[in-house]
Amino acid sequence: MSWLYKAALFLGRHLPRRAISFGTRTFTACYHAVTDDPPAHLRHLYRPRTVREFESDIEQLLRMFTPISADELVRHVRFGQNLPRRSMLLTFDDGLREIKDVVAPILMRRGIPAVFFVTTGFIDNRGMQHSFKASLIIDSVKRDRSGQIRRAAERFFARDGNSHAEVEQAVLSLKYNDTPLLDEFASQIGIDFNAYLREQRPFLTKDEVVSLKREGFEIGAHTVNHPKFAHIPLDQQMTQTLESLEYVQREFKSTLRLFAFPFSDRGVSRAFFEWAFGEAGIDLTFGTGLLQDDISSRNIQRCPMERGPTDAETRVRNVWVDFSVRRFRGCNQIQRV
Ligand SMILES: [Zn+2]
């Protein structure tokens, strides 16, 4: 560990809360579900915050930052309007049912604005992303005491030169374009994704999103069916973006054009952003690159908040350490080709 990193780590741990600053940048947090009992489609992907942890995160964040709305951020980034010092925007990806059940009531009680980014093809439980399918398959593998499903998975996912020893790793490493493989294996072992969608209802319905919008939350687009952009060509990136944005504007009467990249915006080209902020008329796009500066101030990098049991204040302090070291070294700028 370098002396610089050690010094930043010491400061990150010991500085008073209000001294943890990201300059004029808005601290933009990214969450998904909040639940005490992670459902099978999330259980093997990340650890959602429990209700108590989330409430405590909000307390901590409010002690460090002033919450703002997406509208304020748009007016700041696009038209130079002032923001409070140490501002924060909360965002939630994937349009999950827990938004309405848990998150929105907590935020409404405190009058905190938020953006909910919905994957438009999954609203009303019409489908699910490949990573949820992978989590459901892993759940079956782990719950099967006979070991038959594990052996079947090893045989199935070991083909095509897949050298992963651990079947969980192999399943989780499958990409958007591998969705047919997940579908094929699920049907072999008797997992019915459609029945799961009907029974568990992982996603918000259209009516629920309409009422969230009516309650004052902002709705943004998160593609049609959740591909990682690094894994699809530019024309598909554009179609996924436009179709989901148009759906959000049509169905939820959103006047802002906000878009969050599924997983991450790593590898997304300069050409995409030129199109997004030009012809496509998008106000802001959102990645998950921890307060790095980008080729356009209209691509906002957010902080994923679901890192194990780490509470929000510790997370902010850890992110500040990385941010400060990168800034000191002059490498807080994302390079795009
Ligand atoms: Zn997502």
Distance 47 CA to ligand 1 centre (A): 14
Nearest alpha-carbon partner for 204 in 54, 304, 101: 101
Distance 98 CA to ligand 1 centre (A): 14
Distance 146 CA to ligand 1 centre (A): 34
- Which pLDDT belongs to residue 248? 97
Identify which has the larger pLDDT, 65 or 19: 65
- Which pLDDT belongs to residue 336? 73
Per-residue pLDDT reduced to its tens digit, 217-240: 999 999 999 999 999 999 999 999
- Which pLDDT belongs to residue 159? 62
Specify the pTM.
0.93
Q: Band the pLDDT of 317: cuts 50, 70, 90.
A: very high
Q: Band the pLDDT of 308: cuts 50, 70, 90.
A: confident
Distance 118 CA to ligand 1 centre (A): 8
Per-residue pLDDT reduced to its tens digit, 80-115: 999 998 999 999 999 999 999 999 999 999 999 999
- Which pLDDT belongs to residue 163? 53
Average pLDDT, rounded, for the chain: 92
The mean pLDDT of 267-271, rounded to a whole number, is 93
Distance 309 CA to ligand 1 centre (A): 20
- Which pLDDT belongs to residue 160? 56
Identify which has the larger pLDDT, 114 or 6: 114
The CATH class that applies to domain 3-127+204-328 reads: alpha beta
Long-range pairs for 263-270: beta carbons < 8 A, 24 or more residues apart: 263/228, 263/288, 264/228, 264/230, 264/288, 264/289, 265/229, 265/289, 265/299, 266/230, 267/229, 267/230, 268/229, 268/230, 268/237, 268/336, 269/234, 269/336, 269/337, 270/295, 270/336, 270/337
Distance 327 CA to ligand 1 centre (A): 28
Distance 8 CA to ligand 1 centre (A): 31
